[in-house]
């Protein structure tokens, strides 16, 4: 799904048949706001090193750090060095480091400090001069959204957001994309006022995962799945993203946000869109977006939101052999917090393909284990020539797309138990991504950062998608806000009893993922 509309004809050394040649970004640099954050250190910096190590960054690539620290360039280089040593996926090589480190710069300053942004502008100009970054720069805002306004208006004021003819400026933002429809629009207005829509890259790192991209390959490159992919054969779909950890050090961010805003709004609804959408005209960004938007726009909420949704908060319990504190006992969380750490919702998609097939989305912290998966559960065979006792152990056929960990696919179906007269039991057929293809799949961030530098947008949600997602979630959140506190569930279990009841009302049960 990568073919960027680039014109290879101009370059005689390029040939569309030549699949060995990787896509290397053109001359460019990245400006990183918020260099001390977890995300920068654990994901962004290692991904940049890994890209350089794989030979995918241009010679002269430059990385500028911008933060409220009194640092020199070397201090910044040291931070990147430590992060790369600790978190990079590929081996540390001195020559790669040398290539990268020559392009490190650091600009100290506050996000509203005009003088600092003037220094930033001079730094960028200097880089264009000595490193040949040719005026192409991406601004990576790895900072809380409340600072976006400051940074973006400073970028605008100091003419950093306007590319000279023949070069580009892009901005990269991370979730959360607002906390409801109104704030998402506000955020978008801030960015939109300065950067054109095509230059804003919203990172939803789930979309950079190989397994998520494989959903499209699996659905649209094969003949055997698509005929079953509709309400004639599918009973319902369960999309789960479970974490075994608590909120850890993210209390400040998490309290008041909760599981639904943190995960369902972006990752789960995007996964749902990819699973449910029609075949796009091509894998170009605009066509993919059109199909995803159609799914999001055809979502219908159940009438009784209280019965078709569930939320919970983890309380003290044993999680994987370790005693875990409850949510309300976590540092920095108010004792009266009504923030949910588990959320489950039922959604209907009003299209011919999916009418009558509910999509159950759930996510939570401190659940049984860390797992993300999409389970397409099929209807029972219309007629069983076997006796009821023979098929006692047979449940619904299912196709499970395991997004993480242990990426792959499982097909679950009935098979005869050997030795018995006729007894049918569920068996699994497994495809493990790690087993069949490289164990060294690139990290989602590598792919996404490279796509930003190449200007290749298919894997980034646009603001229309963000807004549609909020339109789905807002009524649910309002309903919850009116109804007081969430239910509780013991840490290390699979969520509150209300979530099980929610499915039981439809005569179904959650899979144990």
* Binding footprint of other proteins on the chain (CB under 8 A): 10-15, 17-22, 24, 26-27, 52-53, 55, 58-60, 93, 95-96, 98-99, 102, 129-132, 134, 430-432, 435-440
Are 293 and 467 in contact by the 8 Å Cβ rule? The answer is no
Q: How far is the CB of 45 from other proteins (least distance, A)?
A: 17
CB closer to other proteins out of 381 and 432 = 432
- Specify which residues 233 forms β-bridges with: none
Q: How far is the CB of 418 from other proteins (least distance, A)?
A: 14
Output DSSP code: residue 278: P
Axis-axis angle for helices 463-482, 285-297 (nearest 10): 20
Contacts of 357 (CB under 8 A, 6+ apart): 230, 231, 234, 235, 236, 237, 348, 349
* Strands 309-315 vs 487-490: parallel, antiparallel or unpaired: parallel
CB closer to other proteins out of 283 and 431 = 431
Which residue, among 251, 287, 272, 256, has the nearest Cα to 204 in the 3D structure?
A: 272
CB closer to other proteins out of 60 and 457 = 60
CB closer to other proteins out of 95 and 165 = 95
Axis-axis angle for helices 114-130, 148-157 (nearest 10): 60
Are 64 and 29 in contact by the 8 Å Cβ rule? The answer is yes
Contacts of 272 (CB under 8 A, 6+ apart): 237, 239, 295, 347, 359, 361
Query: Which tokens belong to 243?
Result: 């974490």
How many CB atoms sit inside 10 A of residue 478's CB?
12
CB closer to other proteins out of 19 and 383 = 19
Q: How far is the CB of 211 from other proteins (least distance, A)?
A: 14
Q: Which of helix, strand or coil describes residue 448?
A: helix
Any idea what the Cα angle at residue 339 is, between residues 334 and 341, rounded to 5°?
Answer: 115
Output DSSP code: residue 115: H
Q: How far is the CB of 163 from other proteins (least distance, A)?
A: 16
Q: Is 396 a catalytic residue?
A: no
Which residue, among 409, 4, 405, 443, has the nearest Cα to 203 in the 3D structure?
A: 443
d(CA 243, CA 491): 11
Q: Which of helix, strand or coil describes residue 431?
A: strand
CB closer to other proteins out of 98 and 512 = 98
d(CA 373, CA 395): 19
Q: How far is the CB of 357 from other proteins (least distance, A)?
A: 30
d(CA 503, CA 482): 23
User: Among residues 81, 236, 267, 463, which one is catalytic?
Assistant: 267
Query: 505: number of CA atoms within 13 Å, CB side?
Result: 16
Query: Which tokens belong to 379?
Result: 């209807």
- Specify which residues 238 forms β-bridges with: 360, 375
CA separation, residue 284 to residues 3, 9, 26, 77 (Å)? 7, 20, 20, 37
Integer-rounded Cα Rg, in Å, for the chain is 24
Q: How far is the CB of 374 from other proteins (least distance, A)?
A: 20
Q: Which of helix, strand or coil describes residue 393?
A: strand
Q: How far is the CB of 450 from other proteins (least distance, A)?
A: 13
CB closer to other proteins out of 22 and 507 = 22
Q: How far is the CB of 460 from other proteins (least distance, A)?
A: 23
CB closer to other proteins out of 11 and 303 = 11
How many CB atoms sit inside 10 A of residue 368's CB?
17
CB closer to other proteins out of 57 and 403 = 57
Which residue, among 327, 363, 371, has the nearest Cα to 345 in the 3D structure?
A: 363
Q: How far is the CB of 74 from other proteins (least distance, A)?
A: 18
Catalytic residues: 267
């Amino acid at each position: 799904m990568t073919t960027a509309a680039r014109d290879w004809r101009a370059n005689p050394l390029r040939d569309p048949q030549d699949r060995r040649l990787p896509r290397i970004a053109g001359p460019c640099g990245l400006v990183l706001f918020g260099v001390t954050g977890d995300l920068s250190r654990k994901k962004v910096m290692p991904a940049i090193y890994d890209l350089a190590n794989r030979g995918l960054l241009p010679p002269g690539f430059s990385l500028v750090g911008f933060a409220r620290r009194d640092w020199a360039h070397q201090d910044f280089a040291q931070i990147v060095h430590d992060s790369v040593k600790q978190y990079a996926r590929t081996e540390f090589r001195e020559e790669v480091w040398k290539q990268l480190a020559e392009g490190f710069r650091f600009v100290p300053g506050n996000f509203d400090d005009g003088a600092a942004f003037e220094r930033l502008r001079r730094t960028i100009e200097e880089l264009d001069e000595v490193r040949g970054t040719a005026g192409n720069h991406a601004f990576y805002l790895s900072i809380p959204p409340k600072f976006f306004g400051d940074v973006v208006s400073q970028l605008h004021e100091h003419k950093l957001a306007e590319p000279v003819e023949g070069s580009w400026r892009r901005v990269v933002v991370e979730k959360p994309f607002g906390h409801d429809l109104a704030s998402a629009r506000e955020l978008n207005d801030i960015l939109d006022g300065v950067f054109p829509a095509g230059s804003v890259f919203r990172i939803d790192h789930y979309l950079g995962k190989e397994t998520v991209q494989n959903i499209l390959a699996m659905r649209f490159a094969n003949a055997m799945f698509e005929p079953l992919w509709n309400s004639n054969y599918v009973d319902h779909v369960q999309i789960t993203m479970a974490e075994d950890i608590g909120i850890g050090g993210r209390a400040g961010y998490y309290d008041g946000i909760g599981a639904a805003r943190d995960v369902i709004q972006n990752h789960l609804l995007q996964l749902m869109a990819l699973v449910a959408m029609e075949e796009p005209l091509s894998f170009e960004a605009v066509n993919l977006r059109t199909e995803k938007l159609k799914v999001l726009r055809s979502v219908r909420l159940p009438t009784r939101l209280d019965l078709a949704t569930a939320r919970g908060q983890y309380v003290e319990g044993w999680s994987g052999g370790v005693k875990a504190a409850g949510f309300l006992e976590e540092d920095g969380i108010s004792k009266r917090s009504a923030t949910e750490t588990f959320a489950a919702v039922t959604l209907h998609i009003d299209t011919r393909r999916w009418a009558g097939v509910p999509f159950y989305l759930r996510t939570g912290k401190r659940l049984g284990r860390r797992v993300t998966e999409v389970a397409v559960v099929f209807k029972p065979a219309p007629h069983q020539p076997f006796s009821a006792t023979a098929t006692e152990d047979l449940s619904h056929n299912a196709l499970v797309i395991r997004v993480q960990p242990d990426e792959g696919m499982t097909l679950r179906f009935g098979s005869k138990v050997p030795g018995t007269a006729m007894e049918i039991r569920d068996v699994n057929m497994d495809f493990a991504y790690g087993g069949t293809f490289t164990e060294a799949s690139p990290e989602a961030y590598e792919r996404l950062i490279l796509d930003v530098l190449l200007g290749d947008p298919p894997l980034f949600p646009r603001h229309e998608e963000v807004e549609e997602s909020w339109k789905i979630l807002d009524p649910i959140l309002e309903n919850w806000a009116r109804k007081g506190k969430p239910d509780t569930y013991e840490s290390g279990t699979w969520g509150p009893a209300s979530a099980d009841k929610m499915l039981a009302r439809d005569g179904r049960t959650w899979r144990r993922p």
